[in-house]
Structure 1
């Protein structure tokens, strides 16, 4: 795969990384989330323009890399498939096979195509998103993952049906807690990822937000979800202003 040269950090385009779930691909996830792009761009730019420390940004670009591994590890060598994965194994017991290579693949992608301001992931993609946030904050090799890039920490992450990895190897990813603001999105009818798994990821974050929707294992598309995103982005890009207001209230 050829990577483009990194663009200047002064670019007027805000970049968001989109990570698909198991058995999907970047192109598949793009098709499944295209409906979100105009609204997310609008509400994200609106929030960014209120942050006097950033920008100016005039547009948002969404990047969709595909997983590093085939979803079926037993497929015939050379067999063409668009079903990709970030790793293989029991998330509650195993060290996930191939995950280190997948995370390195994502880190090289953001270093080459960045800088990115945020990341949105679905299911296993959300789990990888949290790992990337943690590595960019801690800026060292931990949990079996190598860190050797210069990309800054992300402003935010959106985790849809995300979860933690419970093998002790991965404990340093979640302790100390992840500081990047993360919106955790949970489907109340999701039978693939249990609510308790997503809540464990929430509890591993210092500044989590939580949104429930009536639905199964998919990306929600309601106006209510878009309103939740808008509130989340307002929180992310007005934290300094909000802290000043809270301080004034306390002094009054």
Structure 2
């Protein structure tokens, strides 16, 4: 009999607005090794250089990037389709990936991806998204963010892939993050006392995190199982 090796969940990490993959990596790597050793984390820079001042200037070194652009009231978006194509191209060349971790703008984007993929509007050439980890997120068509053309049905029915939502008590996106919970089936939730950041994990948060990792590990094929694409015709 061939041995079946259970691999770690492979996660594509999407950073916040006008930051970078390297900055998100530094924040996430404050988590305990007992969490990090169970995950295969890949940090991607967004496709567009920051078009304005970054909130982390003077705290973290540039360069800074953004996934897409929006007008002031988040009703019109630029470069959104191009952003999706960029992510899918990276996943095709460097995958397969099992799920997404997103922070801030990256979390808003990651939250919509399972529904867009379900509807055949994004990520049609890569395996189905198995889970998402959303830190300081929100949803298109919700309290803060208007819809793009491609996200109009992303939350039309409950998103069934496992989700972990990390919500800050002092975060300006707390209402949007809380609203997002209703769009997912049986979400895992970590609440923390801080503002708009990737928090360190206390004992209670660790319990939730490890329970979520145990849950998503069940969705990961062993190394000798095939990876199934949504689109049977995709190469």
What is the TM-score of this pair, normalised by structure 2? Answer: 0.75
Would the aligned equivalents of 2:29 and 2:36 in 1 still touch at CA under 8 Å? Answer: no
Would the aligned equivalents of 2:84 and 2:123 in 1 still touch at CA under 8 Å? Answer: no
Q: Where in structure 2 are there 5+ consecutive unaligned residues?
A: 54-61, 220-235
Of 126, 129, 147, the residue aligned with 1:154 is: 129
Q: Provide the residue aligned with 1:165 in structure 2.
A: 140
In the alignment, structure 1 residue 185 sits paired with structure 2 residue 180: no
SS in 2 for 1:219: coil
**Comparing 121-130 with 104-113, which one deviates more in the overlay?**
104-113
1:164 to partner: Cα distance:
0.8
CA RMSD in angstroms, aligned pairs only: 2.6
In the alignment, structure 1 residue 86 sits paired with structure 2 residue 81: no
Q: Provide the residue aligned with 1:24 in structure 2.
A: 19
Q: Provide the residue aligned with 1:140 in structure 2.
A: 120
Q: Provide the residue aligned with 2:212 in structure 1.
A: 232
Query: How many residues are aligned here?
Result: 200
Q: Provide the residue aligned with 2:198 in structure 1.
A: 219
Q: Where in structure 1 are there 5+ consecutive unaligned residues?
A: 1-9, 45-59, 75-80, 240-252
1:23 to partner: Cα distance:
1.0
Q: Which runs of 4+ in 1 moved over 6 A?
A: none
Q: Distance in 2 between matches of 1:174 and 1:97?
A: 21
What is the TM-score of this pair, normalised by structure 1? Answer: 0.70
Q: Provide the residue aligned with 1:4 in structure 2.
A: none
1:177 to partner: Cα distance:
2.2
Q: Provide the residue aligned with 2:47 in structure 1.
A: 68
1:67 to partner: Cα distance:
0.8
1:35 to partner: Cα distance:
2.4
- The structure with the largest helix share of the pair is 1
